[in-house]
């Protein structure tokens, strides 16, 4: 894993990608810092971090688009798959390299609150800033895991970047969509049935086993029907509840206020781990194809 991590980290700065990511991120952060803090005299730096979450939509696809798709395009993925390294080690090495570039960028932005501390008469809320940085890091890691997964689906970097951007945009607007969707329980049943169908499809494409997919279908259908019959109220507003549960941006709110809660930390780590696991499964399928 460490060998892959070092290789990928060097590759970022041997090409324009790493410099574009770091440079553009620092530029936008500097603009927000100047407007939100220096010109307005506002001592709260967490507002800058909250504003910067939007540029993840554009920068994360650039950071992650080549991670695995480039290997697939150059056919070097087969060398990695057949090497003594484990698939898990390869994927984690690539993921941590992208996270490493992100961490380097964040460390540079620490200069902004340090500069501001020289001009703040009342001092800065460093614990609040630390909480904001922790949440920002966890949110970025979750977004990077999504980009890593989509990079494993294609050998075209542009397609990988486009799919990542679309997925991140969908996640970004989930809160707005959740407020607009109807609360009818029948629609909740249909939505849950669609999720079950997606689960069955995922099981089938992961295992290529009709029996396992059929058992999954029967169990999913039985659970959905039983829930609807015996707990119909559960389906009222279910679509909004499910969409809100998948919201990554909403969970950043407490971090932006300097509040560290265990629940969002566990959620971000679990979310990132889930997409890293899916990426591992996608690559493992190629070993046997």
Task: Identify whether residues 108 and 206 lie together within a single domain.
Answer: no
Each residue's pLDDT tens digit, 248-282:
888 887 786 777 788 889 999 999 999 999 888 88
Do residues 238 and 191 lie in contact, with contact meaning Cβ atoms separated by under 8 Å?
Answer: yes
Instruction: Give backbone dihedrals phi and psi of 125, rounded to 5 degrees, phi first.
Output: -85, 80
DSSP structure class, residue 54? G
> What average pLDDT does this structure show over 109-134?
78
Is 116 among the domain residues?
Answer: yes
Q: Are 20 and 88 contained in the same domain?
A: yes
Q: Do 156 and 33 fall within a single domain?
A: yes
Number of separate domains in the chain: 2
Question: Across the chain, what does the average pLDDT equal?
Answer: 81
Residue 222 lies in a domain: yes
Same domain, 100 and 128: yes
The helix, strand and coil proportions of the chain, stated in percent and rounded to the nearest 5, come to: 80, 0, 20
Residues 107, 11 share a domain: yes
Q: Could you tell me if 101 and 227 lie in one domain? A: no
> Does 17 lie in the same domain as 90?
yes
Q: Residue 40: what pLDDT?
A: 74
Other Cβ atoms closer than 10 A to 267: 18
Token pair for 161: 């970047």
- Tell me if 241 is assigned to some domain: no
- pLDDT, average across residues 172-176: 79
DSSP string, 190-254: HHHHHHHHHHHHHHHHHH--HHHHHHHHHHHHHHHHHHHHH-GGGGTTHHHHHHHHT-STTTHHH
pLDDT in tens, 139-161: 999 999 999 999 888 888 889 89
Residues 201 and 166 in one domain: no
pLDDT value of position 115: 80
Distance CA 284, CA 206 (A): 10
Residues 210 and 67 in one domain: no
Residue 175 shares a structural domain with residue 186: no
pLDDT tens for residues 61-101?
998 988 887 766 666 656 566 666 778 888 898 899 999 99
pLDDT at 76 (0 to 100)? 62
**Residues of the domain holding 77:** 2-179+247-287
pTM for this one? 0.84
Percentage, residues of the chain above pLDDT 70 = 89
In the chain, the largest separation of any two C-alpha atoms, in whole Å, equals 69
Which residues does 115 contact at the CB level (< 8 Å), separation at least 6?
none
By CB atoms closer than 10 A (0-12, 13-18, 19+), residue 206 is middle
Same domain, residue pair 200 and 258? no
pLDDT band at 130 (very low <50, low <70, confident <90, very high): confident
Residue 242 belongs to a domain: no
């Amino acid at each position: 894993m460490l060998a892959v991590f070092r290789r990928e980290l060097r590759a970022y700065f041997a090409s324009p990608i790493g410099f574009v990511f770091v440079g553009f991120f620092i530029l936008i952060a500097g603009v927000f810092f100047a407007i939100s803090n220096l010109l307005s005299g506002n001592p709260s730096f967490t507002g800058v971090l909250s504003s910067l979450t939007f540029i993840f939509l554009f920068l994360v696809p650039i950071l992650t688009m080549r991670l695995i798709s480039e290997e697939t395009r150059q056919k070097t993925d087969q060398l990695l798959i057949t090497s003594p390294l484990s698939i898990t080690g390869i994927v984690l090495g690539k993921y941590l390299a992208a996270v490493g570039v992100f961490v380097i960028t964040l460390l540079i932005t620490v200069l902004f609150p340090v500069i501001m501390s020289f001009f703040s008469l009342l001092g800065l809320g460093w614990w609040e800033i630390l909480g904001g940085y922790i949440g920002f890091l966890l949110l970025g890691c979750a977004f990077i895991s999504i980009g890593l997964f989509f990079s494993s689906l294609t050998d075209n970097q542009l397609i990988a970047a486009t799919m990542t951007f679309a997925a991140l945009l969908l996640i970004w607007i989930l809160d707005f969509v959740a407020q607009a969707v109807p609360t009818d329980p029948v629609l909740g049943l249909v939505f849950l049935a669609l999720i079950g169908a997606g689960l069955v499809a995922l099981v089938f494409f992961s295992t290529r086993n009709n029996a396992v997919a059929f058992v999954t279908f029967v169990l999913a259908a039985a659970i959905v029907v039983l829930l609807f019959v015996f707990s119909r109220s559960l389906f009222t507003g279910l679509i909004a509840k499910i969409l809100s549960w998948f919201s990554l941006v909403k969970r950043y709110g407490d971090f932006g206020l300097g509040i560290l809660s265990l629940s969002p930390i566990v959620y971000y780590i679990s979310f990132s781990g889930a997409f890293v696991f899916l990426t591992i499964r996608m690559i493992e399928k190629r070993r046997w194809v």
